[in-house]
Amino acid sequence: MHQADAQESRKTFLLGLGAQKAGTTWMYSYLQRSPQFAHGYFKEYHVFDCIDVPLQQWNRRKVFRLASEESLKALDGERAEARKIHRASMVLQPKHYFNYFDALSRARDETRLVADVTPDYALLPQSRLENIRDSFAERGLRTAAVFLLRDPVDRTYSQIRMQQGRQPDRFPAPAEQVISTIHTDEIYAARSRYEDTIERLDSVFDPKDLHFEFYETLFTSSAVKRLCDFLGIETIDADFNDKRNVSRPVANGGLDENIVADIAHYLAPTYAAVARRFPKQDLTEIWPSARHVL
């Protein structure tokens, strides 16, 4: 088989690294409708962030708590969710993760794509990204990394509102007030420092295996075609009215302009780095908050 033919016939593992609140749920839902995509039992597996990311140790405890609860059900002869136990085994021994997606990719001849879209993987170290790339290569799978970027102010505000929606008593004040004091917390700031993730991705992946898209331009036919071409699957019609977990942009309204400016200035290196990395994209056009720093 010629090298070009071998590359074309190679199946793909999509490593979705976020960003959080940047359209990953919509993207995954779109891919689920493709007959060439074999989706597993989760969109977000949260395996490697549980291993490598200190901010995610709370999630590690959650993964093992859920696995323990299901194991006790099985011990008592009750119906248990094997997927929660299996995921815990992936955290303990990552080879189970790689073997799982390898088997999933081979289950049907028409499958071209499998995926783990876990936004917290944006925080993974370079060594883990290399490990994921190489472990799938050993199994004959191409790793294709996708990173979606969103206006940092909108992204942060959306994250806070999501948390408030899930835990109404989490914050002592409305989200539009809370954001002014907590946007510097690493829980929020680390997920908006796109330049760190981009640098690691550029260091690990060949350009042909690396795809970036902006949340603000994602919901278009051209963006969907770019994504499908990159992933090696056929494009299908997209429902741009069915946006999952979407919140309205706020950088032009909904937040006090002084707060918007404060957050933008705090993340000024991010705006500058993204502008350098994507010189053809006018950030001041798609990211309203960028006008404060660019």
Domain locations in the chain as residue ranges: 12-47+94-292, 48-93
Average pLDDT over the chain reads: 92
At residue 289 the predicted structure's pLDDT band, cuts being 50, 70 and 90, is very high
| Per-residue pLDDT band at 208 (split at 50, 70, 90) | very high
d(CA 203, CA 284): 27
CATH for the stretch 12-47+94-292? 3.40.50.300
What pTM was estimated for this model as a whole? 0.92
Three-state secondary structure call for residue 218: helix
Does pLDDT of 23 surpass 60? yes
pLDDT band of 243, cuts 50, 70, 90: low
Among 3-17, 174-188, 219-233, which stretch is predicted with the lowest mean pLDDT? 3-17
CA 212 to chain centre: 11
Average pLDDT score over residue span 241-265: 74
Model pLDDT, residue 4: 35
What pLDDT was estimated at residue 239? 86
Whether the per-residue pLDDT at 2 is higher than 60: the answer is: no
Q: 177-188 burial by CB neighbour count: b if 16+ within 10 A, else e? A: ebbbeebeeeeb
Contacts of 175 (CB under 8 A, 6+ apart): 157, 160, 161, 164
According to the model, what pLDDT value does residue 202 have? 98
E strands present in 206-277? 210-214
Q: Where are the beta strands (DSSP E) in the chain?
A: 12-16, 113-117, 142-149, 210-214
Contact predicate 70/85, CB 8 Å: yes
- Across the range 155-170, mean pLDDT stands at 91
CA distances, 71 to each of 124, 144, 227 (Å): 29, 34, 39
What value does the mean pLDDT take over residues 124-145?
98
Say if residue 27's pLDDT is above 80.
yes
Checking if the pLDDT of 265 tops 50, the result is: yes
DSSP 8-state assignment for residue 149:
E
Rounded mean pLDDT of 93-121? 97
* Residue 150: φ, ψ to 5°: -135, 150
Evaluate if residue 248 carries a pLDDT over 80.
Answer: no
Torsion, CA 156, CA 52, CA 206, CA 286, rounded to 10: 0
Residues 115 and 28 sit within 8 Å (Cβ to Cβ): yes
Query: What does the pLDDT look like over 185-197, one tens digit per residue?
Result: 999 999 999 999 9
Q: What pLDDT sits at residue 226?
A: 97
Q: How far apart are CA 249 and CA 227, in angstroms?
A: 23
